[in-house]
Amino acid sequence: MAAAPIDRTGRLYAVVAFAEAASWAGLLVGMFLKYVTQTTEVGVQVFGAIHGALFIVYVAVTIFAAVRLRWSWKVALVALAASVPPLTTVPMEMWLRRTGRLSARTTP
């Protein structure tokens, strides 16, 4: 059985989820350089700002997608919580895609 095509809102969520995870990765590298090697703070300064902005975008897009794609409140809360631990938005996006939650739902 073929999966339902991903909605434009689902694609937007996917892009933002991957961008948020990438910004987390950059921030983690920056923190390693700042606190472990003690060589530079530039990574934290740059990726901290980028990650902060993408975090806010992720939260807004997640709420928009939850309403538009008719996610249950439990799914929406888990998707929002996925923004807190590093890189968790990627497995969240994969699960939402696999379960068809990034596709437009039709009313029966």
pLDDT, tens digit, 9 for 90 and up, residues 49-96: 999 999 999 999 999 999 999 999 999 999 999 999 999 999 999 999
How high is the pLDDT of residue 3?
63
- What rounded mean pLDDT belongs to the chain? 93
- The single-letter DSSP state of residue 106 is P
Residue 108 domain-assigned (yes or no)? no
Residue 43 domain-assigned (yes or no)? yes
3-state secondary structure of 37: coil
pLDDT at 10 over 60: yes
Residue 107 domain-assigned (yes or no)? no
Q: How many domains does the chain have?
A: 1
Residue 2 domain-assigned (yes or no)? no
User: pTM of the entire structure?
Assistant: 0.90
Residue 37 domain-assigned (yes or no)? yes
Residue 86 domain-assigned (yes or no)? yes
Residue 15 domain-assigned (yes or no)? yes
pLDDT at 37 over 50: yes
Domain that holds residue 84: 8-98
Distance, in Å, from the CA atom of 14 to the CA atom of 106, rounded to the nearest integer, reads: 20
